[in-house]
Structure 1
Amino acid sequence: MTATSALTPLSSATLSTPAARDSFWTRIAAELAEAIARGVYPPGQRLPSEHALAEQFGVNRHTIRRSLASLSSQGLLRAAQGSGTYVEEFAVDLVLAKRTRHHQNMVHAGLRGALRVLDAKNVRATAAQARALRVPARSSLLCLRVLAEAEGQPLNFSERYFPLPRFTSLEAVVRETGSITAGFAAHQVKDYTRLESRITAQMPDAIVAAHLRQTASRPVLRVESVNVDPLGVPIEYALAWFAGDRVTLTVAHDE
């Protein structure tokens, strides 16, 4: 599939009303953003010219220019004088340290970011989960599937496991605040540290690729981690998959 064939021309019916015409640029911006997310235009690639995009969508160049300006303001595109418009090479340096916090990583990177709970359920601990959390096999755990984002771009998708009944209300707090740290604090865990992180590269399955908005043919970084409370008791076991072309993982040894 070529880049241009992945985009949808606007029909004459779509162009028929003043209100619709005024929203052309928003629809075009949305289609281009989706094409970027799907990898039709990978990071660093130059987009077709304004003239080519105008012909593709059946609109004038002013409309295309407005769409591109909107995407540039969102950090998805950058314009190079005399060269063209390129997909921004979005990348975030995330630190895996003794105290790893998504919010702090975003602040240090100068980005707006959030955690979003996709779903939650109670499960029975597998042997691996039980070992990591030091609980009996088949113990009851809370499982949260979480998407971490920065500037609207998915950075990682994770499955996080917490012992029950200790963290019975954690789901509600994380949904409300977008913060695992706030969820722990609500359960009288005022501080916690990373016991270990294991990083491997792998190809994502369809679910992980869909959440990261990338193709299954692009590798991801898988991080297996355990967090403990101040007494050294494990409180979280997590598997997280990071978009390999958007994230650099730095392991800090200074804490």
Structure 2
Amino acid sequence: MTSHLVLETSAADAPRQSFWSHIANEIALAIGQGVYSPGERLPSEHTLAESFGVNRHTIRRSIAALCQRGLLRSEQGSGTYVEDFAVDLAIGKRTRHRENLAQAGLRGGLQVLMAERVRANADQARALKVATRGALLHLQILGEGGGQPLHVSDRYFPLPRFEGLEDVVRETGSITAAFAAHGVNDYVRHESRISARIPSAETAALLRQPVTRPVLLVTKVNTDLDDQPIEFAETWFAGDRVTLTVNHDDA
């Protein structure tokens, strides 16, 4: 039986962002914007400390956090280096693909690979609060950023509420824009489940990675502001290109 880490993404009271986490985010943004290229060595701790006006202990903690997130790697006696390709994507109450990429200094969007009408299975029906065998719109979507495939997803939307949603996604490359065109101007993520999996041959090919390399599978449910489920999705993230940071602080 596969175990899952259940992450409730409802907003919670949290302390003000610390100096080290703020600096870590600034460095992550610089990496996304290409200030530090893949494989490039970062300036020394002393140089970074002077640049940010903090002590070296604070910089050391920031770097350690970015290493844990997979954006940097430290080599003893050599220095700290940017990983070959690393994008830090947030999973929060209001997670948007384009906003995630913009914060990392990248451009990208969503591409519809396939659209079809299907009947809800038991899991989909439970998540979307529809009848089993109820009508759903199924989209297979590829998410890109910086010219690289970052994730591929199977997304399900209740019909007839979201009839024609695929046309807006094709035109705009945005689920958010498609929801807005269907009267949903804001929505939130109710739940995320994250697990590591070996991808299928099709998923591995779409992500341009070997089938033997694990991916991160995120299963999510989005709801409108009336707490009505509007999307159930399973998304496979390229494990060597993406770090997922769970953000409990967004409102």
Q: What TM-score comes out, normalization by structure 2 length? A: 0.67
Identity rate, percent? 64
Name the counterpart of 1:89.
84
Cα distance in 2 between the residues matched to 1:111 and 1:151? 5
- Answer yes or no: is 1:186 the counterpart of 2:157: no
* RMSD value, Cα: 1.6
1:238 corresponds to which letter in structure 2? A
What corresponds to 1:144 in structure 2? Answer: 139
CA deviation vs aligned residue, 1:173-206 (integer Å, no higher than 9, x gap): 0000000001000010000000000000010010
Aligned to 2:64: none
In the other structure, the counterpart of 1:106 is 101
Q: Does 1:241 align with 2:236?
A: yes
Residue type of the partner of 1:152? Answer: G
Q: Which residue of 2 aligns with 1:212?
A: 207
Q: Distance in 1 between matches of 2:130 and 2:156?
A: 12
Task: Could you tell me which runs of 5 or more consecutive residues in structure 1 were left unpaired when the two chains were aligned.
Answer: 1-42, 45-86
Cα offset for 1:169? Answer: 1.4
Does 2:202 match 1:202? no
Q: Does the alignment pair 1:173 with 2:168?
A: yes
Q: Counterpart amino acid of 1:228?
A: T
Q: For the residues of structure 1 that align with 2:159 and 2:141, how far apart are their CA atoms?
A: 18
Deviation at 1:112, TM superposition (A): 0.8
**Aligned partners of 2:83, 2:194: CA distance in 1, in Å?**
26
**1:209 offset after TM fit, Å?**
0.3
Separation (CA, whole Å) in 2 of partners of 1:188 and 1:112: 26
Q: Distance in 2 between matches of 1:160 and 1:245?
A: 23
1:88 Cα deviation after fit: 6.7
For residues 203-223 of structure 1, give each alpha carbon's deviation from its aligned partner in whole angstroms, at most 9, with x where no partner exists: 001011011010100000000
In structure 1, what is the equivalent of residue 222 of structure 2?
A: 227
Displacement over 4 Å in runs of 4+: none
Larger Rg: 1 or 2? 1
C-alpha separation in 2, matches of 1:247 and 1:151: 12
Larger relative contact order (Cα-Cα within 8 Å, sequence gap ≥ 6): 2
In the alignment, the residues of structure 2 paired with residue 89 and residue 249 of structure 1 have an alpha-carbon distance, to the nearest angstrom, of: 17
User: What residue identity is the alignment partner of 1:245?
Assistant: D
Cα deviation code 1:209-238 (max 9, x no counterpart): 011010100000000000000100000000
TM-superposed deviation, 1:159 = 0.3
Tell me the alpha carbon deviations over residues 17-43 of structure 1, each in whole angstroms, 9 at most, x when there is no partner: xxxxxxxxxxxxxxxxxxxxxxxxxx9
Amino acid at match of 1:90: F
**Residue aligning to 1:153:** 148
Deviation at 1:151, TM superposition (A): 1.5
* Secondary structure of the structure 2 residue equivalent to 1:241: strand
Partner of 1:11: none
Query: Partners in 2 of 1:208 and 1:183 — Cα distance?
Result: 24
TM-score by length of 1: 0.66
C-alpha separation in 2, matches of 1:99 and 1:166 = 21
- In structure 2, C-alpha distance between the alignment counterparts of 1:88 and 1:96, rounded to whole Å: 21
Q: Which one-letter code corresponds to 1:248 in the other structure?
A: T
Q: Distance in 1 between matches of 2:177 and 2:215?
A: 28
- 1:133 partner letter: L
